[in-house]
Amino acid sequence: MTGYGYAGEILRVDLSTSGVSRLPVSDYASRFLGGRGIAAMLYWDETQPGTTPFEAGNCLVFVTGPVAGFMGFSGCRWQVCGMSPQMEPPAFSYANLGGSWGSWLKYAGYDGLVVSGKANKPVYILISDGTVEIRDASHLWGMTTVETEDTLHAEVGEDARVLSIGPAGENLVTFATLLASENASGSSGFGSVMGSKNLKAVAIRAGKLRRPAAAEPKRLKEVAALVRRLRINNFEDYGHILPGRMKLTSCHGCISGCTRFAYRAENGHTFKSFCQASGVYMGLAMKYYGKEKGAEANLVAGRLCDEYGLDTAVLSPLIEWLEQCHREGILSDEETGLPLSKVGSVQFIETLVKKLSYRDGFGDILAEGVIRAAKHIGKGSGQLPGASLLTRGGESHEYDPRLILVNALTYATEPRRAAHIHHAAVLPLARWVNWTQNRWKDAFLTTEILRDIAERYWGGADAFDFSSYKGKALAAKQIQDYAYVKESLILCDLAWPIYQVQDTEKRLGFCSLESMIVTAITGKQMTERELLKTGERVHNLQRAILIRQGWGGRDGDTLPESLFTNPLKSTFFDPECLAPGKGGEHISRRGAVIDRAGFEELKDEYYALRGWDVASGLQTAGKLAELGLVDVAEDLRVRGMVVE
């Protein structure tokens, strides 16, 4: 399988010993395809249970998929996996990034990079035309990500692709991010894991650009043409609040574009405004300044997060919580050293970002995230909405399960906000809402089309009824298994799956296009069923990792208490909480909460569909064996973490 579509090797770098070694990717690709699957197995093999995030033994895995390097499929994304300090408690997690860094890793001859150990001083890794060097980075320590990239371009060449951390990562802020070339950012706190290893950056030069070969290049071109015909720009009417200041831009290898805008800042550098990050400070800044100046202040906030290395999905609810604490008299300007009376201003966001990034004063408490900060402060601060409506990673809650019930299971069983899974239901529903409200001129996703999507891809018509728990367990399994196919190839989840087309006859079978792509690239015939079985295998491997770390199981598959008690008010894409009911009638989920008994019944059904033990939520040895994970089952058996 690894003769085509793969570079052939996985690079291992031990920063403690400066050792460099290589593994054949074929040891992993046959079972796990690529991406998340290979990364999860590498993590399972390389990281001992009980390892904490900042220990030298916590390896970071950077990995591509077999589609990386091939244009025309939105498949040049890459992932980072490891033990995340952001999660409460810490757990295995993942980040998914765009840009060209991943493709350059492949062009340099590697499908993945595993970094373990800890350097005795700041270093960066340089991968260049067959050589691997660990270089002194003392002169880079303290720089922002932008300054680091500029400096490394001057040192190793303008054509280098650079992945780096900012001051937040150096100072072990638990939600510190990575930033790669073309402003691709990665979350799960992996910036701080790099910082704990004294690893400032990884730079790649691939002067020879050894692009991967496809087994059937002619067939691959035909599939690419089919993808172009089917793919629509689902974001064509998405405008920005600062027209003329912003320009739509696409990731490396993209086929259609999305909501990713680029703009040039005062310092001459180009930054992005994208997805959740595009509104990290918008509401508060517009309230403080008004529309246009507030939008500019929001850009400043996003830019500071990229430069210093902070996760906007964590910072946004953190700011909301701070503002609520100030309003309730729990925190003051004097106590925190923050201008809380000026939340929404540029002064506030600049002060907050720097205090967080350097763990200065009160910033040292906030650097642990909202959940831990609220526990530290007490005074009822943990009961405020800003602290309660969160994942266990302290992230914002754009994909609310009170509106989309299928997301209740994915929130409960994933270590972080799993946008790559949630988008499967959120994006079709959002476009259905646009159709019902006539928001976009070419809105076409009618009730009939949404019902057809549910029947074809979510397990049946019951998944189409947003008022009922019926059918949601099967939908969750279907969507998750597909998501792990997508994460292993690695395909962009804003572009895939391609099922939102107007002509029902053009809507292909589940994983049909993906099967064509894999076969044309690798030469291995993989049916839709085989691909989905691979997705199920990868999902079960991740579940085993989490179980081995003490996460998951019936008691661990939980939701924040607020989702059971606080009625739904609104969502960012669906302010009126509209959705189709049983017969397709328009209903509103406003005021809904998650029913406790209904949620437990969902878990029962979900565990049964997964082939897990219903009473405990643990995996069964038989199911793991069926999926080709006998080695994983044996490890769990020794620990008493699998049901016979």
442 CB burial (10 A radius; 0-12, 13-18, 19+): exposed
Segment 234-283, tens digit of pLDDT: 555 454 566 666 676 767 767 766 666 766 767 766 666 666 666 788 88
Q: What are the residues facing 127 on neighbouring strands? A: 132, 204
**In the chain, which residues have pLDDT < 70?**
1-2, 232-246, 248, 250, 253, 256-260, 262-263, 265, 268-278, 386-390, 440-442, 500-510
**Residues with Cβ < 8 Å from 246, sequence gap 6 or more?**
240, 261, 262, 263, 273
Residue tagged 């060209």 (tokens): 100
- Kindly report the CATH class assigned to 406-638: mainly alpha
**Amino acid, res. 313:** A
Superfamily of domain 9-205: Aldehyde ferredoxin oxidoreductase, N-terminal domain (3.60.9.10)
Q: Is 297 strand, coil or helix?
A: helix
Q: Output the CA angle 538-642-392, nearest 5 degrees.
A: 60
Q: Check residue 567 and report its DSSP letter.
A: P
Q: Please list the residue range(s) of the chain that carry CATH number 3.60.9.10.
A: 9-205
CA distance 277 to 284: 14
CATH pick for 247-388 out of 1.10.580.10, 1.10.569.10, 1.10.3720.10, 1.10.260.40? 1.10.569.10
pLDDT at 184: 74
Q: How far is CA 508 from the centre of its chain?
A: 26
CA distance 482 to 533: 9
**Residues with Cβ < 8 Å from 27, sequence gap 6 or more?**
none
Which residue, among 80, 60, 39, has the nearest Cα to 193 in the 3D structure? 60
Q: Output the CA angle 259-264-265, nearest 5 degrees.
A: 115
Q: Check residue 211 and report its DSSP letter.
A: P
Query: Largest alpha-carbon pair distance within the chain?
Result: 67
Asked if 74 contacts 122 with a C-beta cutoff of 8 angstroms, the reply is no
pLDDT at 280: 81
Q: What are the residues facing 200 on neighbouring strands? A: none
**Cα dist. 138→123, 201, 282, 317 in Å?**
7, 11, 36, 34
| The total number of residues written for the chain in this structure | 644
Q: Please list the residue range(s) of the chain that carry CATH number 1.10.599.10.
A: 406-638
**Amino acid, res. 96:** N
Residue 81: phi and psi, rounded to 5, are -130, 150
Segment 175-221, tens digit of pLDDT: 999 999 877 788 999 999 999 999 999 999 987 778 889 999 999 99
Which residue, among 603, 623, 516, 610, has the nearest Cα to 556 in the 3D structure? 603
pLDDT at 1: 47
Residue tagged 């070694």 (tokens): 21
216 CB burial (10 A radius; 0-12, 13-18, 19+): middle
CA distance 132 to 199: 14
> Helices in 459-557 by DSSP H: which ranges?
472-489, 512-522, 528-548, 553-556
pLDDT at 389: 64
Tokens describing residue 205: 């030069």
Asked if 365 contacts 376 with a C-beta cutoff of 8 angstroms, the reply is yes
